[in-house]
Structure 1
Amino acid sequence: MPVIVFYTSVSGNIEVKKHQQKIIDILESKKIPHTLVDISQNSDDKDLMRKIAGNPTALPPQICNEDVYCGDYAAFEMAVEAEELELFLKL
């Protein structure tokens, strides 16, 4: 099952950019296959991200495994720290 990272390529918030990049870097370093979905390019993707997250105001980055919600950056970071990334990503 592919891991999907919803992100935005258009953000003035440096923290959002750092969080997105950290997620991508960790997934790549651990060779975890993933797909990036840029919500700034298509409002349907933003709507899908919010539907999967179950939060009508969710902001990127958000992570899911196909249509199963995994969590946001804070949850991702906690999973990495606890060495439970594969469990978090539902792999």
Structure 2
Amino acid sequence: SQLKIKKQQQDVMGFLAANKIEFEECDIAANESNRKWMRENIPEESRPATGNPLPPQIFNEEKYCGNYEAFFDAREDNAVYAFLGLTAPPGSKETEADIEKEA
């Protein structure tokens, strides 16, 4: 539903803003070229069996990171920076988790 999509978008953008991760929101409802770009840049294996992929879809520049479920799982695992293809800042939960894994 539209409300579910809106809540997921707000969840992703709220997390990024709270963690001072720069992002750009691209409206696919009002912008046909954004919608076309998103659909063309989601890998075949990440597309739904039927229909078109629904927002939010997360990219780092041109690189596809995943959908909301993948983002949510990465956040639960303290692995959002890796999910986004970014280096976790010192002192973040993700950096601490990586240090513990290496120890």
TM range (shorter): 0.7 to 0.9
Q: Is 1:53 aligned with 2:42?
A: yes
**1:4 aligned partner:** none
| Alignment: residue pair count | 80
Residue in 2 aligned with 1:84? 79
Larger radius of gyration: 2
Alignment of 1:60-71 (within 5 A): 60-71=55-66
More helix by share: 2
Alpha-carbon RMSD: 1.3
Distance 2:9 2:18 in 1: 14
Instruction: Show the counterpart of 1:7.
Output: none
1:29 and 2:18 aligned: yes
**Given the alignment, which residue of 19, 26, 42 partners 2:31?**
42
Q: If the length of structure 2 is used for normalisation, what is the TM-score?
A: 0.73
Equivalent-residue separation in structure 2 for 1:36 and 1:25 (angstroms) = 12
Equivalents in 1 of 2:4, 2:79: separation in Å? 23
Higher strand share: 1
Relative contact order: is structure 1 or structure 2 higher (C-alpha 8 Å, sep ≥ 6)?
A: 1
In structure 1, runs of 5+ residues without a counterpart are 1-11
Residue identity in the other structure for 1:17: K
Give the AA of the match of 1:49. M
Deviates more, 1:53-62 or 1:64-73: 53-62
Matched to 1:87, the amino acid is A
In structure 2, distance between residues paired with 1:67 and 1:78? 22
> Could you list the runs of 5+ residues in structure 2 that have no partner in the other structure?
87-103
